[in-house]
A and B are shown apart, each in its own frame.
Chain A
């Protein structure tokens, strides 16, 4: 055990010495962001920061003046004063005035942030352990968004990409120039949906639907990244958000594409797949949706997440296996994947699990079997 730790330690030291090029900028401050609200918050933050700095300069100035001037080694003799009503009233009154001066702009920004009325687009965001689900209300578009950073990058077996831990398979696409309302809830524990550039952070709480909003100005199209901000379990650090702002026209095209893709997907499920096709696809789906808990090699993790390699359900009980992936296991971290994965993905990943890591059943699970199991 110790040799393993030493091995890791020495690899840390070595990689530090080689000064990796990925080490990025020394970012010091809150981003200004791209929305009116985020910029108001930034201004407020800077205002309070400078007020604190000036109070600090005065208070610490007096203190250090005393430390240097009124020291015994310089022959200072202590005076005996120990109260002054006037002074004490003054330094109660002055901070009160400063606080009121801070409270006024803070109140107006907060009122603005709470105005979720008259939204053009409604997006329901559901937190899951450990991924986000997006539903575009009234548009018949919805999907899950998973981390795409590989286990190899996380465990230092591969170089880390530029957007390490901040990249997902499906972006949440929003139009610019339109007021977007986020309706935020959770399916299990409390999460928090946070994208700093639009200054939206709201807890996703089971049983609650919290509201927040953003209006991204036209011309600010681009990718904006964020993370879950509330401790939500073992993979709390691995459920990022990628917000993609596009023009209103591109947004409509994207919505149409999503709907078309969904129809195509349903049709594809009725087609035929070879064992090899399903295995290749399954490996992909496994890495994205399963590996975080069950391990990159199906080895499981701790006592909470069982191993799949050699597991009796993954070798013997095919119907039970399909049922478990479709419907999850209540009271455990195993969630229902029926809404998260398409029939093809589901068939592929189950086929993969029944044949990978020595589970050599040779069996193939087809999308049609999944459709039947769902009935």
Chain B
């Protein structure tokens, strides 16, 4: 597109500032997106290191490397960092980079707030991570922090955890407002809602979920704060409070949170598959409706995390039926992706490989999710490694593979260089093998009866645990290939064309590669 090129030349003197201050004061959506992505990648390595510490201890029965207390701190911090520090900021980073480019906007609608949303995060996670070095140790009550273990019985670092969660919540809410404002107000002329790319659609819906539930999370941690420091008894049975209330409030946040971590990945995959199948996305409208249905259902299924807390029979049945319903829109999405591939003209570059692995492995996670929805069977599955296998299948080869696929897909647009395809494929196959060797055996040990969150286990679980640990190290170290590839691509490589991929369609492929610092200063026209 010539207009964009012309803009770039005209506004050359508005390039980025020099030095560190460029990053501190930037209001540019591309800079902020880049910072979000590097932040998420850093957190991925920190949380991943914790996962490897956990897996090392679980390599064999017996306590070998760490103490049970530190083990609990590791499981807690691993969960918190991966959910709030890696997956969510990575999606926000992708949204920052791509939403303005996809809707033809010059920047995010609220650029200064955008800067603030990002810069809160390093402080929130800095505070959380520093608790590891305090005398009382880091939070040790699991990322779900069930009261009263996280209130009456918590280490003193819980207060830092609460403020950390407040800060992450503020960051997420501001990020979500910004995305909604951008999508609803800054679309290029002619881009109606039903012409938006699916990544934009899924992020719009995700942003509404964030605004709906992050205040609920802030509420529940504030209630904890009151219980711990100000003598209230929201969750203390001895004071007339109710420990189960905690779980209801937490999961009212927690279940939509699960979809916050997967809907943008649906969007990314829905961009990638049509590109490499060279065929329009099958059932665009039904994709939008399915995403909206999943978002709606996410608000009325929270108690399926609580099937064993002793809910009344009627409640149990309601939540079982509602949860099973989610399979329908999710199924529609999977069928649409497969139909998009059907009779296409497919090639298998790295983004496509990750997207295909996403479809298969996320669907496996969906199947185990359906099994978990069946309340009577959940009494056997609940709090075992079967659950660990399930949510890691939807979060690692689900959300994380979605993010990695997106990074490979847009990397040539960001850097102006093609990445090394062989290295990308090597990264894919190592990750694919590693992830399955790690998480597939967890289905077996869970069904055989191994509870989750235990630092040591009975002898019959030994073999599969050893295998899972080997897989975890393969997966973990494979991400160093990704790091190496990213640095290599940023520093140089084959020059990328504007369209980058033969089958790519959309506004982001009309601007030059690398994308100039300012784009769409004049809005493009979408037919």
Which A residues form the contact surface with B (CB < 8 A)? 5, 8-9, 11-12, 15-16, 22-31, 40-41, 44-45, 48-49, 52, 55-56, 59-60, 62-63, 66-67, 70-73, 76-84, 87-88, 91-92, 95-96, 99, 102-103, 106-107, 109-111, 113-114, 129, 153-156, 160, 162-166, 188-190, 192, 194, 196, 199-203, 205-208, 210-211, 226-238, 301-304, 331, 333
**Choice from A40, A55, A80 contacting B367 with Cβ under 8 Å:** A55
Tell me the bound Cα distance from A110 to B375 in angstroms.
7
Q: Is the CB of A72 within 8 A of B380?
A: no
- B313: which A residues are within 8 A, CB to CB? 110-111, 114
Is the C-beta of B521 less than 8 angstroms from some C-beta in chain A?
Answer: no
Residue of B63, B281, B343 most packed against chain A (CB within 10 A): B343
- B320: which A residues are within 8 A, CB to CB? 103, 106-107, 110
Is the C-beta of B453 less than 8 angstroms from some C-beta in chain A?
Answer: yes
Tell me the bound Cα distance from A301 to B327 in angstroms.
47
25 A-B contact pairs sorted by A residue (CB < 8 Å): A5-B65, A12-B59, A16-B466, A26-B464, A27-B448, A28-B444, A29-B447, A30-B448, A59-B335, A66-B338, A73-B347, A79-B343, A88-B283, A99-B325, A103-B321, A106-B374, A110-B320, A110-B375, A188-B148, A189-B146, A206-B238, A228-B451, A234-B140, A237-B453, A302-B137
Given contacts A48-B370, A66-B338, contact A40 B332 (CB under 8 A): no
- B454: which A residues are within 8 A, CB to CB? 227, 236-237
Q: Is the CB of B379 within 8 A of A203?
A: no
Which B residues form the contact surface with A (CB < 8 A)? 59-65, 67-69, 72, 135-137, 140-142, 146, 148-149, 152-153, 155, 237-238, 241-244, 277-286, 308-310, 313, 316-317, 320-321, 324-325, 327-328, 331-332, 334-335, 338-348, 356, 359-360, 363-364, 367, 370-371, 374-377, 379-380, 382-384, 444-445, 447-449, 451-460, 462-464, 466
**Choice from B148, B152, B356 contacting A67 with Cβ under 8 Å:** B356
Tell me the bound Cα distance from A166 to B340 in angstroms.
51
**Choice from A8, A70, A92, A103 contacting B342 with Cβ under 8 Å:** A70
Nearest CB in chain A: distance from B80 CB, A: 14
**Choice from A8, A72, A164 contacting B61 with Cβ under 8 Å:** A164
Number of A-B contacts (CB under 8 A): 308
Residue of B69, B244, B332, B359 most packed against chain A (CB within 10 A): B69
Tell me the bound Cα distance from A70 to B62 in angstroms.
51
Residue of A110, A188, A301 most packed against chain B (CB within 10 A): A110
Nearest CB in chain A: distance from B378 CB, A: 9
- B335: which A residues are within 8 A, CB to CB? 59, 91
Q: Is the CB of A92 within 8 A of B332?
A: yes
Q: Is the CB of A48 within 8 A of B279?
A: no
Tell me the bound Cα distance from A73 to B278 in angstroms.
13
Nearest CB in chain A: distance from B36 CB, A: 31
Nearest CB in chain B: distance from A58 CB, A: 10
Q: Is the CB of B448 within 8 A of A80?
A: no
- B347: which A residues are within 8 A, CB to CB? 71-73
Nearest CB in chain A: distance from B504 CB, A: 14
Tell me the bound Cα distance from A91 to B317 in angstroms.
25
**Choice from B238, B345, B364, B380 contacting A30 with Cβ under 8 Å:** B380
- Name the residue on B nearest A52 (C-beta): B367
Q: Is the CB of A229 within 8 A of B384?
A: yes
Given contacts A190-B243, A302-B137, contact A45 B371 (CB under 8 A): yes
Given contacts A76-B343, A82-B282, A208-B310, 12 further A-B contacts (CB under 8 A): A48-B377, A49-B371, A52-B371, A60-B363, A110-B313, A188-B148, A205-B309, A207-B238, A207-B241, A208-B243, A236-B451, A237-B454
Q: Is the CB of A78 within 8 A of B457?
A: no
- A106: which B residues are within 8 A, CB to CB? 320, 374-377
- A31: which B residues are within 8 A, CB to CB? 448-449
Nearest CB in chain A: distance from B417 CB, A: 23
Given contacts A70-B342, A233-B153, A234-B69, contact A196 B449 (CB under 8 A): yes
**Choice from B277, B308, B321, B367 contacting A78 with Cβ under 8 Å:** B277
Q: Is the CB of B135 within 8 A of A303?
A: yes
6 smallest CB-CB distances across A and B, nearest first, come from: A207-B237, A237-B454, A210-B310, A27-B448, A52-B367, A78-B345
Q: Is the CB of A71 within 8 A of B284?
A: no
Q: Is the CB of B321 within 8 A of A71?
A: no
Q: Is the CB of B149 within 8 A of A78?
A: no
Tell me the bound Cα distance from A95 to B363 in angstroms.
14
Tell me the bound Cα distance from A188 to B150 in angstroms.
12
Tell me the bound Cα distance from A236 to B317 in angstroms.
30
**Choice from A28, A70, A109 contacting B346 with Cβ under 8 Å:** A70
**Choice from A12, A82, A111 contacting B280 with Cβ under 8 Å:** A82
- B462: which A residues are within 8 A, CB to CB? 22-24
Q: Is the CB of B377 within 8 A of A45?
A: yes
- Name the residue on A nearest B379 (C-beta): A201
Nearest CB in chain B: distance from A216 CB, A: 17
Q: Is the CB of A109 within 8 A of B376?
A: yes
- B455: which A residues are within 8 A, CB to CB? 237
Nearest CB in chain B: distance from A41 CB, A: 5
- A81: which B residues are within 8 A, CB to CB? 282, 343
Tell me the bound Cα distance from A90 to B507 in angstroms.
34
Q: Is the CB of B140 within 8 A of A70?
A: no
Q: Is the CB of B317 within 8 A of A107?
A: yes
Q: Is the CB of B448 within 8 A of A63?
A: no
Q: Is the CB of B457 within 8 A of A237?
A: yes
- B278: which A residues are within 8 A, CB to CB? 72, 78
Residue of B316, B449, B456, B463 most packed against chain A (CB within 10 A): B449
- Name the residue on A nearest B145 (C-beta): A231
**Choice from A24, A229, A331 contacting B382 with Cβ under 8 Å:** A229
Given contacts A165-B456, A194-B451, contact A70 B371 (CB under 8 A): no
**Choice from A44, A73, A211, A236 contacting B377 with Cβ under 8 Å:** A44
Tell me the bound Cα distance from A333 to B149 in angstroms.
11
Q: Is the CB of A24 within 8 A of B68?
A: no
Q: Is the CB of A25 within 8 A of B317?
A: no
Q: Is the CB of A23 within 8 A of B459?
A: yes
Tell me the bound Cα distance from A81 to B309 in angstroms.
49
- B448: which A residues are within 8 A, CB to CB? 27-31
- Name the residue on A nearest B356 (C-beta): A67
Q: Is the CB of B374 within 8 A of A206?
A: no
